[in-house]
Amino acid sequence: MTGFWDQTSAFLYAAILASVPLLYGTLGEILTQKAGNINLGVEGMMYLGAVFGFLVGYGTDSLVLTLLSGFLAGAAGALIYAFLTVTLKANQNVSGLTLTIFGTGVANFLGEKAKMNAPLGTAFMSDRLRSFMSPMDLGAFSRLPVIGPLLFQHSIMTYLALMAGVAMHLYLKRSRPGLNLRAVGENPAAADAMGVPVAAYKYVHILIGGGLCGLGGVYISMVTCLGNWQPNIIAGQGWIAMALVIFASWKPLRAILGSLVFGALSVLRLYIPKSLIDIPAALFSMLPFVVTCLVLVVSSIRMRREHQQPAGCGVNYFREER
């Protein structure tokens, strides 16, 4: 029985580890879409965050600078997107996809370059820097039986992500700017008439959203890939985050739950005994997307307004065109 429990808790712990980058990406995209912009550049912004976090961490050995540069890199990608779509009224889908192509290119380029220039052809983050990502000691909590190791022995980035999720929930539901933001996303013309500075709201939230995606990228290069640069490091996790936004029906708290589910799905295969069920890996990786399609279809059939994408998504707001 202890063997079973050990196995289960190891599985849950791995699920939490795998869910963190997804949660960052999802929260970032939720914030972006709440502003009425669909940014298909999540994957690209995660790449930008991953590579700049990696390079700065590799060069400076400072945790603060690593996280900051990852955030800023993601936000810089989002700035390009915001400038194109909000100010220059370019098509959102095309701008976002281009950001993904661009971010992937920049990250693979700079990462590859760093490896070429490294002494042994492999660039590693120092152990000292990575030790900041080892589980935090939360005193008595961490030593609680059962839930201690599971819930209170995580790295700082896991707790940051959770806090970001809760904070975003409160912000959207309980604050004035949050309400304004939702108005901007649902009906920018009405928000404009109310006196809400539409463009400013869009910029701020798209940028912060991009920064969150960037942090997800930092997590992948520091924790998931153990501080070692690999080509195509994000490997589609940005797209899973896109799926999660739908799965969570644009709600931050559900995003926390959803990322746990998707994180669990991504590691589940390693923890089921092969003798029990032997499902091919590829079908497992397919699962999140199948589930997302179902959610997308079901929510559109039920036509529940509160479970839909913000109404203003995909359409650029041009005041003179009302």
Partner 1 sequence: MPKRPPLSFHLVQRGEIPRLYAWGYRLLAVLFALMTGGVFLAALGYSPLNIYGTMLKGALGSPGMQRETIKLTIPLALTSLGVLLAFRMRFWNIGAEGQIAAGAIAASYFAYFQAHLPTAVLLPLMALAGILAGGLWGLIPAWFKTRFGTNETLFTLMLNYIVMNLITFLREGPWRDPAGGFAATPRFPKGARLPELPLPFVGNVHIGWIVTLAMVLLLFLYMRYTKQGYEIAVVGENERTARYAGMPVRKIVLRTMFLSAGICGLAGMLQVAGPDRQLTDAVAGGRGFAAVSVVWLARLSPFGSLAVAFLFSVMQKGCSMMQTEYRIPASMSDILQGIILFCVLGAEFFLQYRISRRKEALA
Residues that bind partner 1 (CB under 8 A): 38, 40, 80, 83-84, 87-91, 93-95, 97-106, 108-109, 112-113, 116, 236, 239, 242-243, 246, 280-283, 285-286, 289-290, 292-293, 296-297, 300-301, 303, 309, 314, 318, 320-321
Distance in Å, CB of 82 to partner 1, minimum: 12
- Residue 264 or 296 with smaller CB distance to partner 1: 296
At 17, list the tokens: 């580890």
CB proximity list for 286: less than 8 A, separation 6 or greater? none
| Residue number with CB closer to partner 1 (29 or 154) | 29
Please, which residue, 107 or 256, has the CB nearer to partner 1? Answer: 107
Residue whose structure tokens are 């994957």: 43
Smallest separation, CB 267 to partner 1 (Å):
16
Report the C-alpha gap between 82 and 182 in whole angstroms.
17
For 315, the 3-state DSSP assignment is coil
Task: Supply the minimum distance, in Å, between the C-beta of residue 3 and partner 1.
Answer: 29
How far apart are alpha carbons 189 and 193 in whole angstroms? Answer: 6
- Residue 64 Cβ vs partner 1, minimum distance, rounded to whole Å: 26
Distance CA 171, CA 169 (A): 5
Q: 91 and 206 in contact (C-beta within 8 Å)?
A: no
Find, among 252, 246, 233, 235, the residue nearest to 289 by Cα. Answer: 246
Q: How far is the CB of 299 from partner 1 (least distance, A)?
A: 9
Q: Which is nearer to partner 1, 163 or 193 (CB)?
A: 193
Nearer to partner 1, 195 or 280 (CB): 280
Q: Locate 188 and state its tokens.
A: 């920018």
